[in-house]
Structure 1
Amino acid sequence: MAKIKPFKAVRPTRAIVGLVAARPYQSYTVNERDSRMDYNPYSFLHIVNPGYKYDQVITGEERYKLVRNRYLEFKEDGIFIQDEKPSFYVYKIVNRHGQEFNGIIAATSAEDYEKDVIKKHEDTLAKREQTFKTYLQTVGFNAEPVLLTYPDNNVISLIIKATQKNHAEFEFTMTYRDTHYLWKIDNEDDIVVIQEEFDKMETIYIADGHHRSASSYLLYKDEKAKNINHQGSEAYNFFMSYLIPESDLVIHEFNRLIKDLNGLSKEEFLIRLDHLYRIENRGIVPYNPSKPHHFSMYLDGEFYSLYLRKTNYDFDTSLDTLDAYLLYKTILQPILGINDLRDDNRIEYVNGRHEMITIKSSVDSGEFKVGFGMCSATIKQIKHIADEGLKMPPKSTYILPKLRSGITIYEF
């Protein structure tokens, strides 16, 4: 049964929230990052990149301590203010394409993560988990929620819609032209009803943020072991999440670019493909696959469609039906020799919001030899894989919404 609780968020003031909010640090180019920090003293980037103040690259625990210092300075300067009452936060995003996302920011349970009430579908790297756990222990806050999804629920939906009829605490538009809204729910009756509805749910699912949730779980285990008076209600027992209904998720694929043909000629490569796929040359007209187990391929100036010969492939588990895994098991690993999808520098990923023309341009430039496009996974597939305790290959899904840091902060 999913346990969520309200919390006293630390938030920017209404007047500057749009200046504070930032995308994840790694998503900026160096020039973008420097430009924002040069001209925007309120950006959350100043907190997560504390060495900018001294024109130094600072790493490790020294950086984490300075992140903590910058955060405290933002609070001391009144840029961040903490709410007086524990609340849930209704959060709405409308992006430039008109897609709308509505959900609730809340504190979710690390114990639920441990007991698989919060289910995972992606592998995590132990080193990254430990690194981020150390970061969390030093800075003492979550600044970007983990994205969780739950089965559509009419009771919760009605409370969200009723709350959105009130004046929003925040309403601001980012340079990406997505507009963000935030409302507080601090009414005790609504809080109880929301908690009761989540308590009825056997499982909820991580959509995005597997490493952040895993690191928060490791933090919980450490702090619990150190606290001889552990009660289970301490702030470290929870981590901040944005919970949205399954119907609000938008799932795109990640397409693949490969730098070489593993020593094969074009003709040899096509013959190897022919054992498992029916191949059709589509010429110079971009081709997008229209259904699962069909792939598009761009090679040597031409597009191809690849149709799986199902008599030569067994669908034994839900993972076998996932196109990202299918491509890996039938082409990337056995033919192109790519075994480690995380660390092999011969493969790169392009999220499916980009057209196949992006694949074409990358191959035509000479940097890559071949590109593959596929259909996106479905929430049903993701849930089945998680329910079976299986893990998807890295970069199997590009899920919207993408969240910003610094809008609500959870302290522990």
Structure 2
Amino acid sequence: MAIIKPFECVRPKKEYVSKIAALPYDVYNRAEALREVQKEPMSFLRIDRAETQFDESVDAYDERVYKKAHDILWDMIKQGSFEKDTKKCYYVYQLVMNGRSQTGLVACASIDDYENNIIKKHEKTREDKEIDRIKHVDTCNAQTGPIFLAYRSNDIINELVKNKMKEEAMYHFVAEDHVTHTVWKIEESKQVSVIEQAFQTIDQIYIADGHHRAASAVKVGLKRRALNQNHTGKEEYNFFLSVLFPDDQLMILPYNRVVKDLNGYSETEFLDKVKENFEVQEMGKEPYEPNKKATFGMYLNHTWYELTAKHHLISKDAVEGLDVSILQNYLLDPILNIKDPRTDKRIDFIGGIRGVKELERRVCEDMKVAFSMYPTKISELFEVADANQLMPPKSTWFEPKLRSGLFIHTLE
């Protein structure tokens, strides 16, 4: 039984929404974030990446940075750039990219559900990244970037959302990256109750994206519990900001790979080694994207190849059967000596949103070989999480990205 509750949202005033809404903090490096803030002074990156308000001598994780994030957020609230709803509401959030839409519900999920594994994880988090967002949430006294959750589609929720979308939207704008964002508010008490009860019939929720934000929000909540002698379990710090999507709305893009060298092999020797575990077919000069599982595109010396894993490599295990595992276990590791793709500097990862032409560009510029992947399915993500296993690194790329600053959940 999942607890997915409405909340009193702090959100931009309508006239500022397109200026404030920003891509997540972790899609930018410091220089890129600074350029975005200089281009749009109201961008929420001023808060999510408050180091942009200091010169390079101030470390991004300096205590002054978190204090600045707090001050900017609460000054903007005080000055009227944001407003706070006085009723606990849900919000319908639709994103449209390249003609394809996905629609989710903005709500708050329970840290107890996270702790008790009702909210399933599939990714290992890094302590340094957690510490950064713990400090940000705790100092700001607010969660500013929603966690991307998924659940198995529910007819009751679907019907209510569909009907709500026939009404006038609260927000509607097209962002700079041409993604259209539309938001409707669900505030009528009967509708709110229907949604809350419908989620209580759902056994499992899955983190699709945002494992570090989720872990950080939970740790802030647990810390505040320990400090509150009058803790009841109803305080806002017991819940974290989320957008929940039914599984049939989601599309995962591939997460492609490029490698700097052939580990000492000549191109002929390398191809011979690859043929030990893969059927190799030359495809020519046109970019190749695989269209089924256990197949891979490979770009080498201005030529594309199709690699098809030999039958004995394909496992029924939730993790070992993933395409990213097959490539890692039977090519990247044994042939190219990429033992740990998390830390090896010879490998880089290219989100599917950038297309396979980006793979060609990197091979021409600073890499030797590239691999285009067949995307992981949402059902595979669920299967791995249900088995309490972890996905290999860089297994999924979700688009479009949820915007930060559209919805803020305050902890008091």
The within-5 A match list for 1:2-401 is 2-28=2-28, 33-55=33-55, 57-60=58-61, 61-95=63-97, 97-311=98-312, 313=313, 315-365=315-365, 367-401=366-400
Distance 1:24 1:360 in 2: 27
Structure 1 runs of 4+ aligned residues shifted over 6 Å read none
Q: Give the drift of 1:354.
A: 3.4
Answer whether contact 1:123 1:393 (CA < 8 A) is retained.
no
Distance 1:120 1:90 in 2: 24
Q: Give the drift of 1:71.
A: 0.7
Secondary structure of the 2:157 match is helix
Deviations 1:232-277 (A, max 9, x none): 1111110000011111101111010000111222222222212211
Distance 1:31 1:132 in 2: 19
Distance 2:295 2:50 in 1: 47
Distance 2:32 2:212 in 1: 25
Worse-matched range after superposition: 130-139 or 254-263: 130-139
Q: Give the drift of 1:27.
A: 2.8
Distance 1:316 1:177 in 2: 40
**Cα pair distance change 1:273/1:161, threshold 3 Å:** same
Answer whether contact 1:101 1:249 (CA < 8 A) is retained.
yes
Q: Give the drift of 1:327.
A: 0.7
TM superposition score normalised by structure 2: 0.95
Distance 1:314 1:290 in 2: 17
* Equivalent AA in structure 1 for residue 22 of structure 2: A
**Cα pair distance change 1:209/1:53, threshold 3 Å:** closer
Answer whether contact 2:51 2:65 (CA < 8 A) is retained.
yes
Distance 1:402 1:336 in 2: 32
**Cα pair distance change 1:30/1:113, threshold 3 Å:** closer
Q: Give the drift of 1:203.
A: 0.3
Distance 1:35 1:330 in 2: 41
**Cα pair distance change 1:55/1:131, threshold 3 Å:** closer
Answer whether contact 2:33 2:52 (CA < 8 A) is retained.
no
Deviations 1:62-103 (A, max 9, x none): 2111110111111121111111111111111122x1111111
Secondary structure of the 1:392 match is coil
Distance 1:28 1:227 in 2: 36
Secondary structure of the 1:320 match is coil
Aligned pair count reads 409
Distance 2:22 2:400 in 1: 14
- Sequence identity (%): 36
Distance 2:199 2:88 in 1: 17
Distance 2:256 2:153 in 1: 29
Distance 2:399 2:96 in 1: 11
Answer whether contact 1:104 1:242 (CA < 8 A) is retained.
yes
Answer whether contact 1:249 1:401 (CA < 8 A) is retained.
no
Answer whether contact 2:353 2:399 (CA < 8 A) is retained.
no
* Equivalent AA in structure 2 for residue 131 of structure 1: D
Answer whether contact 1:257 1:368 (CA < 8 A) is retained.
yes
Worse-matched range after superposition: 132-141 or 22-31: 22-31
Secondary structure of the 1:15 match is helix
Cα RMSD after superposing both structures: 1.7
Deviations 1:352-410 (A, max 9, x none): 23332321221122x10100112111111111111111111111111133111101100
Deviations 1:288-318 (A, max 9, x none): 222111111111221111111123x261511
Worse-matched range after superposition: 139-148 or 24-33: 24-33
Secondary structure of the 1:321 match is coil
Answer whether contact 1:11 1:408 (CA < 8 A) is retained.
yes
Secondary structure of the 2:308 match is strand
Distance 2:377 2:299 in 1: 24
Secondary structure of the 2:15 match is coil
Distance 1:204 1:143 in 2: 21
TM superposition score normalised by structure 1: 0.95
Secondary structure of the 1:391 match is coil
